[in-house]
Structure 1
Amino acid sequence: MRKRLLCIILLLVVTILSGCRATENQELTENAEIAKLYIEKEGYIVLSYESNVSTYVLTKDMVKTLPYSMYWTLPGNDPKPAYGKTVSVEKFIVKNHPLDNYKSGNAKSKGKTEVYVHLANGEVVAGTSFPVMNEQLSGGYWNINGKTN
């Protein structure tokens, strides 16, 4: 009887743990695969694919308003080639990124970074990043390589 109960508990624990790792093993869409390869080419280690967080058609007016102005005015993020196109934003958690060691007052990075890759027609057109913090951090984003200017 005890062995049976132990087996049931072990089976429950394994089931719960495997459910928590679903995002790491989930199948990537074509855009997510392109984004992942881009991130790895930049030298970052992908810890997990989170999801597609946004899809929109980019217009000149959008780039003038929040939140789009935060993304598209960063160094390396030129909106012109993406105007009139559907932009898909794929989110990953990475390490080996400059923002892994970010500090601001008492808030500090947990040693990993959120990276958002913006794609249009299967090509990377922009990217943003944000440190995963131990406390809430307010403000904008950095470009994919952790720069703001």
Structure 2
Amino acid sequence: MMRITKISVLIGLLFLVLSACGNGASDDEKNAEQYLKQYGYQITSRQGQVEKYILEKSKLSASTENIPYQQSWGVQSVEPDRYFGKEITIYQFTVRNHPLEKKYNTETTVNVILCEGNVIGGASMPAQGNAVLMGAPYSLEGQTLEEINKMSYKEWSEKWIMKYGS
């Protein structure tokens, strides 16, 4: 009987140690969460790290496979140039209390962009369940590319191609 109790206690202690060590959130992800909380967004789910890449000018060129990068960087308040050659990490969350929630009457998925552990921005999209609705991303605050850049999409696109290539 005493042997079973000792084994139970050891298993319980092992479980506690493993669960304490494996909380799953990296420092970068915690930074991203804190950033979202500053906006008053309530995190309802975490998808974790969804992408990691080295930002190069070629990733922003006007080719079809680069459209997601162009659109995501197009809604940032910072120019991507200062991050060339650096590792970019993206964490994804589903949030409530976001401007897109009111506009589309649905959940919002946000991608928080970090470089070297520092949040540099993000993008948001209306979502239903685990599916992101189609369309271009909005800024982290729910603004369109046109609102952020204060020009039409056509004007922005022409300027983007001149700067980053076709």
Quick check: TM above 0.5?
A: yes
Determine if contact 1:35/1:117 at 8 Å carries over to the other structure. Answer: yes
C-alpha RMSD over aligned residues? 2.1
Quick one: which of 19, 30, 35 aligns to 1:33?
A: 30
**Cα distance in 2 between the residues matched to 1:99 and 1:26:** 30
**Cα distance in 1 between the residues matched to 2:35 and 2:121:** 11
Distance 1:57 1:75, change over 3 A: closer
Q: 1:146 offset after TM fit, Å?
A: 0.6
Answer with 72-81 or 115-124: which moved more: 72-81
**Cα distance in 1 between the residues matched to 2:55 and 2:132:** 29
**Cα distance in 1 between the residues matched to 2:68 and 2:124:** 14
Helix, strand or coil for the counterpart of 2:31?
A: helix
Determine if contact 1:48/1:94 at 8 Å carries over to the other structure. Answer: yes
* Higher normalized helix content (fraction of residues): 2
**Cα distance in 2 between the residues matched to 1:121 and 1:37:** 16
Task: Name the structure 1 match of 2:125.
Answer: 130
Determine if contact 1:58/1:84 at 8 Å carries over to the other structure. Answer: yes
Helix, strand or coil for the counterpart of 2:67?
A: coil
Answer with 50-59 or 64-73: which moved more: 64-73
Task: Name the structure 2 match of 1:56.
Answer: 53
Residue identity matched to 1:122: G
Determine if contact 2:124/2:139 at 8 Å carries over to the other structure. Answer: yes
Helix, strand or coil for the counterpart of 1:68?
A: helix
Taking only the aligned residue pairs, the percentage that are identical comes to 29
Unmatched 5+ residue regions in structure 1? 1-24, 104-108
Determine if contact 2:109/2:132 at 8 Å carries over to the other structure. Answer: no
Q: What's the TM-score, normalizing by structure 1?
A: 0.72
Determine if contact 1:86/1:120 at 8 Å carries over to the other structure. Answer: yes
**Cα distance in 1 between the residues matched to 2:68 and 2:24:** 29
Distance 1:49 1:81, change over 3 A: same
* Higher normalized strand content (fraction of residues): 1
Unmatched 5+ residue regions in structure 2? 1-21, 148-166
**Cα distance in 2 between the residues matched to 1:136 and 1:116:** 11
* Deviations, residues 28-82 of structure 1 (Å, cap 9, x unaligned): 1111000000000111111121111100000112122322101001141421222
Distance 1:98 1:26, change over 3 A: farther
Determine if contact 1:128/1:141 at 8 Å carries over to the other structure. Answer: yes
Distance 1:130 1:144, change over 3 A: same
